[in-house]
Amino acid sequence: MSDKIEEWDRVIEARKPERPKALDYINYIFEDFIEMHGDRYFGDDKAVIGGIASIENIPVTVIGEQKGKTTKENMERNFGMPNPEGYRKALRLMKQAEKFNRPIITFIDTPGAYPGLGAEERGQGEAIAKNLLEMSSLEVPIICVVIGEGSSGGALAIGVGDKILMLENSIYSVLSPEGFASILYKDSSLYKKAAKEMKITAKDLKKLGIIDEIIKEDNILENTKKAILKDLKELLKLNKNELVENRYNKYRRIGKGEEDDIK
Amino acid sequence: MVIDKIKKVTVIDTKANTKASDMMVGKWIKCDNCKEILYKEDVRNNYSVCPNCGKHFRLSSRRRIAQIIDDGTFEETDSNLHTTDPIKFEGYTQKIKLLEEKTKIKEAVKTGFGKINGINVAIAVMDANFLMGSMGEVVGEKITRLIERAIEKHLPLIIFCASGGARMQEGMVSLMQMAKTSAALSKLNKAGLLYISVLTDPTTGGVTASFASLGDIILAEPKALIGFAGPRVIEQTINQKLPEGFQRAEFLLEHGFVDRIVERKDMKEELYRILKLHNY
Ligand SMILES: [Zn+2]
């Protein structure tokens, strides 16, 4: 798609049921994916999938937020909205990846962390916070790919990494354009305007220095595979200290404010 | 988003009341919990807690610092930082200017160094009066700088949280402050320094999902609203009313997400005792 496309069209594209979901990427890009279940505390959240696999004989840990393509699938997957146990499963697998020195690849696709009663009781905020803290200092390469809808802290919770990639028609936002419109414009019908003003497209976010690369969608799965492999090989050259220090600085740079002029 | 706050009432009845001379605009407030009309000065002298029902009213960052930090020891840092308006959101910088004038504060957090009964600490105090205490780049940057300086100076860190979450007007740059501050806290952890997080009304959204929940010790003020999703969003999602006390400090204590609930009048001593036990 070209640059002429309106931001809102990308939102629609990013949310399309028939668009490839995390498992489609995982099955295409990696060999012998073995899914692992459960957070070891409470349960197994089907909105988050994770496991081990390999790519060009490099063992990796893969994690993804999984939406469904049909209503039935979406009910099973809670529409890709994780509960705390989903994030805790992700963290468990990531810590394991660190133990066995496996790079981590995550696929982001969620309307947000689930805002439910149980989610709050079980500490949704704590679960996300813990992931941010831990991911910032894991001593293995982390590549995060926004494949569809990356919304809010629920996306960021598996999104702290060395390379942040976005599919050309994916979006990444602090909240949904609809939510933004109803809160800041006090008019939910202004979602198209919100989508434009919020700077949520891959192109806008690259300009803002929030993501690293944009993946073209002409051959969506293959392009994503190539992009991951290229970054993986680059990151594997770094030692642990360089890796963690670079990652720290990557986030350290974002949004520093400005000192007042001294008059 | 949280809406309840102290409702200012203008009392015009000058006949019936014995304290008629004090019945002037702005001297009285009505407690939004027990509905009692309270003399402002009494509330102030009682740590801004309702003398009648114990409701902890929201505190400005300035007043909070006065309650916690030894007189004359607070040195503020980075008070001159302002937002770059990263997504050039219409009307945002004007809104910030208006708020600065109205609230007499700059930004939703004050950071700095000071003493608690003689012990040096790095402290950040959020202020819900400034755009709901939302975290944008300035809040994230000030807190990150404070954490980095705490590491340099080997000081314990205390953050009083009060926030509606990420600052939407700054788009994704605000979301990234969650990662930035959490990464800095990971460094603080590795340096073996103490971090006490104090959750006050309200602590929600992106702040709950970052530094607020990452304290070695997490304290909360009584009845403070604490959660990730806002109560209204949850009600809309599950399509039913939330149970009484849901997402209040006591609820979090019961579910294991808060170490202790501490009344405001005891907060300074409590912090001091914890600091002492960590050999500061
Ligand atoms: Zn009261």
Query: Which of B228, B232, B244, B246 is best to mutate for the A interface (most A CBs within 10 A)?
Result: B228
Nearest to A84 by CA among A35, A33, A45: A45
- Which among B80, B174, B210 is the nearest to A260, CB-wise? B80
Q: Do B180 and A126 touch (CB under 8 A)?
A: no
Q: What pLDDT is stored for residue B8 in this prediction?
A: 43
**Nearest CA-CA distance, residue B232 and chain A, Å:** 10
Stronger pLDDT, A238 or B26, i.e. the higher one = A238
Confidence of residue A3 (pLDDT cuts 50, 70, 90): low
Whether B1 has a pLDDT exceeding 70, the answer reads: no
Q: Do B179 and A136 touch (CB under 8 A)?
A: yes
Tell me the angle at which helices B61-68 and B264-277 cross, rounded to the nearest 10 degrees.
Answer: 60
**Nearest CA-CA distance, residue B25 and chain A, Å:** 32
Q: What pLDDT is stored for residue A263 in this prediction?
A: 53
What distance in angstroms lies between residue A183's CA and the mean position of ligand 1's atoms?
30
Nearest to B271 by CA among B214, B219, B213: B219
pLDDT digits (tens, 9 = 90+) for A59-87: 999 999 999 999 999 999 999 999 999 99
Per-residue tokens: A250: 């990557």
**Nearest CA-CA distance, residue B189 and chain A, Å:** 10
Terminal alpha carbon distance of chain B: 37
Q: What pLDDT is stored for residue A5 in this prediction?
A: 80
Coil, helix or strand at residue B184: helix
Q: Render A201-242 in DSSP notation, one character per residue.
A: BHHHHHHTTS-SEEE-STTHHHHHHHHHHHHHHHHTTS-HHH
DSSP lists the bridge partners of residue B29 as: B8, B38
**Nearest CA-CA distance, residue B181 and chain A, Å:** 9
In the block, residue with structure tokens 């009648």: B52
- Which among A133, A156, A256 is the nearest to B186, CB-wise? A133
Residue A132 sits at the chain B interface (C-beta within 8 Å)? yes
Whether B241 has a pLDDT exceeding 80, the answer reads: yes
Whether A146 has a pLDDT exceeding 90, the answer reads: yes
Contact list in A for residue B180 (CB cut-off 8 A) is 251-252, 254-255
Average pLDDT, whole number, for chain A?
A: 96
- Which among B169, B184, B209 is the nearest to A125, CB-wise? B209
Whether B91 has a pLDDT exceeding 80, the answer reads: yes
Question: Do B213 and B204 touch, CB atoms closer than 8 A?
Answer: no
Whether A221 has a pLDDT exceeding 50, the answer reads: yes
Question: Do B180 and A255 touch, CB atoms closer than 8 A?
Answer: yes
Whether A172 has a pLDDT exceeding 60, the answer reads: yes
Coil, helix or strand at residue A70: coil
**Nearest CA-CA distance, residue B40 and chain A, Å:** 32
Per-residue tokens: B102: 């109205």
Whether B219 has a pLDDT exceeding 80, the answer reads: yes
Terminal alpha carbon distance of chain A: 49
Average of per-residue pLDDT across A83-105: 98
- Which among B180, B184, B237 is the nearest to A254, CB-wise? B180
- Which among A132, A205, A254 is the nearest to B210, CB-wise? A132
| Cα–Cα dist B209/A114, whole Å | 13
Whether B33 has a pLDDT exceeding 60, the answer reads: yes
Contact list in B for residue A132 (CB cut-off 8 A) is 178-179, 182-183, 209-210
CATH number for the domain whose boundaries are B58-277: 3.90.226.10
User: Which H helix or E strand runs over B160?
Assistant: strand B157-163
List helix spans (H) across chain B.
40-45, 61-68, 92-103, 137-153, 171-190, 205-208, 231-238, 249-254, 264-277
Q: What pLDDT is stored for residue B15 in this prediction?
A: 41
Nearest to B55 by CA among B33, B40, B39, B38: B33
| Cα–Cα dist A25/A82, whole Å | 19
Q: What pLDDT is stored for residue B26 in this prediction?
A: 75
**For the CA atoms of chain B, what is the radius of gyration?**
19
Where do the structural domains in chain B lie, given as residue ranges? Answer: 58-277
pLDDT digits (tens, 9 = 90+) for B101-137: 999 999 999 999 999 999 999 999 999 999 999 999 9
Residue A43 sits at the chain B interface (C-beta within 8 Å)? no
Per-residue tokens: B81: 């930082």
**Nearest CA-CA distance, residue B58 and chain A, Å:** 22
Average of per-residue pLDDT across B178-184: 98
Whether B266 has a pLDDT exceeding 80, the answer reads: yes
Q: Which residues 188-217 on chain A approach chain B with CB closer than 8 angstroms?
A: 197-200, 205, 208, 210
In chain B, % of residues over pLDDT 70: 91
Confidence of residue B16 (pLDDT cuts 50, 70, 90): very low
- Which among B90, B172, B229 is the nearest to A174, CB-wise? B172
Q: Do B182 and A123 touch (CB under 8 A)?
A: no
Whether B9 has a pLDDT exceeding 60, the answer reads: no
Q: What pLDDT is stored for residue B20 in this prediction?
A: 40
pLDDT digits (tens, 9 = 90+) for A11-31: 999 999 999 999 999 999 999
In the block, residue with structure tokens 């505390």: A41
Residue A249 sits at the chain B interface (C-beta within 8 Å)? no
pLDDT digits (tens, 9 = 90+) for A230-239: 999 999 999 9
Q: What pLDDT is stored for residue A261 in this prediction?
A: 82
Q: How far is CA B233 from CA A114, B129, B229, in A?
A: 10, 22, 7
Q: What pLDDT is stored for residue B171 in this prediction?
A: 98
For A123, nearest residue in chain B (alpha carbons): B257
Residue A252 sits at the chain B interface (C-beta within 8 Å)? yes
Whether B24 has a pLDDT exceeding 70, the answer reads: no
Question: Do A198 and A185 touch, CB atoms closer than 8 A?
Answer: no
Q: What pLDDT is stored for residue B115 in this prediction?
A: 98
Q: What pLDDT is stored for residue B69 in this prediction?
A: 98
In the block, residue with structure tokens 């979406």: A74
| Cα–Cα dist B215/B226, whole Å | 14
Q: Do A173 and B171 touch (CB under 8 A)?
A: yes
Secondary structure letter of residue B168 according to DSSP: G
